[in-house]
C-alpha cells in the first residue's frame, strides 16, 4: 500500500514557509493505519523492546498501537508541566530558540531496552532530546521509529548512534 498518498500537505502551517505533513487522512483510513503500524513495528518483532517512548503528541497515537502489537509498554514524553508525578527534564535547542521535554523519573529502569517513536523525523532535535531523557534514566535506546522522515532535513544525523527506522521517506 502506498501510504504516502494518505499524507496531506498543508502549506504555511503552523507558520509561513512550513509545509506541514498532515497525517489525519491516514488515521481516518483503517487499512492505511493498520499498514502503517505493521511497518513501524516490523524491525522490532523478533526482539521487542521493553517500552516505546512516545513523543508528544502524535507519537502517542502510533506508539500505543505499536506497543499492543509488540507486547510492550508505552512511556510518554511531554512538554513541561504535563506529567503528574516527579519528572526528569532536558532542554534542547531549536532552530528558532529552545524547548524542553519531560519524562516521569520512575518510567524506565536501568537496562530497559527502548525504542523512541514519533510521527515525524524532521531536524532531529526533539528526538535527540527524548533519547537523552531515556539515557539519563539509565535505559538503552535500541532504535527510533517514525511514520515519516523528511530526509532533506538530515535529522537522522543527530541520531547516528542507534538504528533509525522510517516508514515513509520524503526526499
Residue 14, preceding bond cis, omega within 30 degrees?
yes
Residue of 35, 58, 135, 136 marked active site: 58
3-state secondary structure of 2: coil
58 assigned to active site: yes
Q: Are 91 and 98 in contact (CB under 8 A)?
A: yes
**In 10 A of CB 159, how many CB atoms?**
18
Task: Round to whole Å and give the CA distance between 53 and 76.
Answer: 6
DSSP for 57-111 reads THHHHHHHHHHHHHT-EEEEEBSTT--SS-EEEEEEEETTEEEEEEEETTSS-TT
Residue 40, by phi and psi: left (phi above 0), alpha (psi -120 to 50) or beta?
alpha
How many other C-beta atoms lie within 10 A of the C-beta of residue 52?
29
The residues that are catalytic are: 58, 95
Amino acid at each position: 500500500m502506498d501510504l504516502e498518498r494518505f499524507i496531506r500537505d498543508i502549506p504555511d502551517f503552523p507558520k509561513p514557509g512550513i509545509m506541514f505533513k498532515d497525517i489525519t487522512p491516514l488515521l481516518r483510513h483503517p487499512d492505511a493505519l493498520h499498514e502503517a503500524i505493521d511497518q513501524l513495528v516490523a524491525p522490532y518483532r523478533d526482539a521487542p523492546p521493553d517500552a516505546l517512548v512516545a513523543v508528544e503528541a502524535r507519537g502517542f497515537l502510533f506508539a500505543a498501537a505499536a506497543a499492543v502489537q509488540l507486547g510492550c509498554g508505552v512511556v510518554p514524553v511531554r512538554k513541561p508541566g504535563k506529567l503528574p508525578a516527579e519528572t526528569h527534564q532536558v532542554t534542547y535547542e531549536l532552530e528558532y530558540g529552545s524547548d524542553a521535554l519531560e519524562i516521569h523519573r520512575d518510567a524506565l529502569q536501568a537496562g530497559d531496552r527502548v525504542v523512541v517513536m514519533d510521527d515525524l523525523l524532521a531536524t532531529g532535535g526533539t528526538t535527540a532530546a527524548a533519547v537523552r531523557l531515556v539515557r539519563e534514566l539509565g535505559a538503552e535506546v535500541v532504535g527510533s521509529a517514525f511514520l515519516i522522515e523528511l530526509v532533506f532535513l538530515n535529522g537522522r544525523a543527530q541520531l547516528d548512534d542507534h538504528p533509525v527506522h522510517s516508514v515513509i521517506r520524503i526526499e
